[in-house]
Amino acid sequence: AQSVTQLGSHVSVSEGALVLLRCNYSSSVPPYLFWYVQYPNQGLQLLLKYTTGATLVKGINGFEAEFKKSETSFHLTKPSAHMSDAAEYFCAVSSRTGNQFYFGTGTSLTVIP
């Protein structure tokens, strides 16, 4: 069985500060990993994904995430927060062979001017 845990349902950062959103997964084999962003009153948009290959994945809007198998983590980072980054962020995991897709409970990011 797979699951994904996002630590911190709310994160606040100052504009220009580092953004770090945490995601840990539980899986017997390395899964596919995703980060999605949801802006107010909109659907979810893919930020980045890890399937195979390089463990540091770069996404849109300056975000990146690193797959660490030893820590079963896939934390999302951005060096410098912008006001426009304020949104809900979801980590998700899917199995490589089956049809299972699980979302974390989400982290609401607030950017303080």
Sole binder of other proteins in the list 63, 74, 90, 93 (CB under 8 A): 90
Contact flag: residue 63 with other proteins (CB under 8 A): no
Contact flag: residue 88 with other proteins (CB under 8 A): yes
Q: State how far the Cα of 45 lies from the Cα of 24, in Å rounded to an integer.
A: 20
Q: CB of 80: closest distance to other proteins in angstroms?
A: 25
Question: At residue 35, what is the residue type?
Answer: W
Contact flag: residue 7 with other proteins (CB under 8 A): no
Contact flag: residue 51 with other proteins (CB under 8 A): yes
Which residues, in sequence order, are bridge partners of residue 24? 5, 73
Q: State how far the Cα of 25 lies from the Cα of 71, in Å rounded to an integer.
A: 9
Sole binder of other proteins in the list 63, 75, 93, 106 (CB under 8 A): 106
Q: State how far the Cα of 13 lies from the Cα of 19, in Å rounded to an integer.
A: 7
Q: Which is nearer to other proteins, 70 or 97 (CB)?
A: 97
Q: CB of 13: closest distance to other proteins in angstroms?
A: 19
